[in-house]
């Protein structure tokens, strides 16, 4: 599985790439801060909502620090998703590396 640091993902998005940004945090976490364009499907809801995702689409999985997203990305790979990327460091690192104005929790 590939991994991006937030600064790498930001640069990747700026070059015109349009992966699905899958946020697997909880609703309350999303209400505090979010990466623009991310689709929220909390990790616990992922099995029931998997049909909302395209297994052929490049999918970047996001969470708070990169641990839940890593496990969710592995789960997607086990289901046959072919192009899955984990956001290493999660939204916490995004706030540090890309968007210092983003609220932290």
pLDDT attached to residue 60: 98
Residues marked active site are found at 63
pLDDT attached to residue 21: 98
Mean pLDDT (10-residue bins), the chain, 105 residues: 97 97 98 97 98 98 98 98 98 97 97
User: How many angstroms separate the first and last alpha carbons of the chain?
Assistant: 27
Alpha-carbon 41 to chain mean position: 10
Cβ count within 10 A of residue 82? 11
**In total, how many domains does the chain have?**
1
Q: Is residue 21 part of a domain?
A: yes
pLDDT attached to residue 93: 98
CATH number at residue 10: 3.40.250.10
Segments forming the whole domain that contains residue 9: 2-97
pLDDT attached to residue 62: 98
pLDDT attached to residue 80: 98
Q: What is the pTM of this model?
A: 0.97
pLDDT attached to residue 4: 98
* CA-based torsion, 32, 104, 20, 70: positive or negative: negative
pLDDT attached to residue 73: 98
User: Does residue 70 come out as left (phi exceeding 0), alpha (psi in the -120 to 50 range) or beta?
Assistant: alpha
């Amino acid at each position: 599985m590939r991994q991006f640091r937030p600064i790498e993902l930001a640069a990747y998005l700026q070059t015109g790439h349009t992966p699905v940004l899958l946020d697997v945090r909880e609703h309350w976490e999303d209400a505090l801060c979010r990466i623009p364009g991310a689709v929220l499907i909390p990790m616990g809801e992922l099995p029931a909502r998997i049909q909302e995702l395209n297994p052929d689409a490049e999918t970047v999985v996001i969470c708070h620090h990169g641990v839940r997203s890593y496990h969710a990305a592995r789960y997607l790979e086990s289901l046959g998703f072919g192009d899955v990327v984990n956001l290493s460091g999660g939204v916490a690192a995004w706030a540090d590396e890309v968007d210092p104005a983003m609220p932290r929790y």
